[in-house]
Copies of this chain bind each other. A is one copy, B any other.
Amino acid sequence: MAQTETGVNRQIVLKRRPTGVVSEECFTLVEAPLTGPDELADGEALVRNIYLSVDPTQRGWISRDTYVPAIQPGEVIRSGSAGQVVASRSARLPEGTLVTGLTGWSEYAVVSGNVSPVAAGVDLRASMSVLGATGLTAYFGMLDIGRPRPGETVLVSGAAGATGSVAGQIARIQGARVVGLAGTAEKCAWLTGELGFTAAINYRRDDVPARLRETCPDGIDVYFDNVGGSLLELVLERIRLKARIVLCGAISQYSDEEPSPGPRNLMQLVIQRSRMEGFLVFDYLERYPEAVAQLSQWLRGGDLHYRVEIMEGLEAAPRALRALFTGGNTGKLLVQIAPEP
Residues of A whose CB lies within 8 Å of any CB of B are 66-67, 228, 232-233, 247-250, 253, 259-280, 283
Measured CA separation A178–B171 after assembly (Å): 39
- In the assembled complex, which residues on chain B have CB atoms less than 8 Å from the CB atom of A271? 66-67, 278, 280
Query: Is A253 a contact partner of B267 (Cβ separation < 8 A)?
Result: yes
Least Cβ distance of A228 to chain B in Å?
7
Pick the contact of A273 from B261, B274, B276, B280 — CB < 8 Å? B280
Query: Is A264 a contact partner of B273 (Cβ separation < 8 A)?
Result: no
Query: Is A278 a contact partner of B272 (Cβ separation < 8 A)?
Result: yes
Q: Select from chain B the residue with minimum beta-carbon distance to A265.
A: B259
Which 9 residue pairs across A and B have the least CB separation, nearest first? A262-B262, A261-B261, A270-B278, A269-B278, A259-B264, A275-B277, A262-B263, A276-B276, A67-B271
Q: Dominant SS at the A interface? A: loop
Instruction: Please tell me how many copies of the chain the complex holds.
Output: 2
Measured CA separation A279–B269 after assembly (Å): 8
Measured CA separation A265–B250 after assembly (Å): 11
Pick the contact of A261 from B250, B262, B267, B269 — CB < 8 Å? B262
- In the assembled complex, which residues on chain B have CB atoms less than 8 Å from the CB atom of A272? 278
Q: Select from chain B the residue with minimum beta-carbon distance to A250.
A: B267
Least Cβ distance of A283 to chain B in Å?
6
- In the assembled complex, which residues on chain B have CB atoms less than 8 Å from the CB atom of A266? 228, 232, 247, 250, 262-263, 276
Query: Is A274 a contact partner of B274 (Cβ separation < 8 A)?
Result: no
- In the assembled complex, which residues on chain B have CB atoms less than 8 Å from the CB atom of A233? 262
- In the assembled complex, which residues on chain B have CB atoms less than 8 Å from the CB atom of A250? 266-267, 270
Q: Select from chain B the residue with minimum beta-carbon distance to A243.
A: B278
Query: Is A267 a contact partner of B278 (Cβ separation < 8 A)?
Result: yes
Least Cβ distance of A233 to chain B in Å?
8
Pick the contact of A270 from B259, B268, B275, B279 — CB < 8 Å? B279
Known: A228-B266, A266-B276, A274-B277. 13 other contacts (CB 8 A): A66-B271, A67-B271, A247-B270, A248-B270, A253-B267, A262-B262, A262-B265, A263-B266, A267-B278, A273-B283, A275-B277, A275-B278, A277-B277
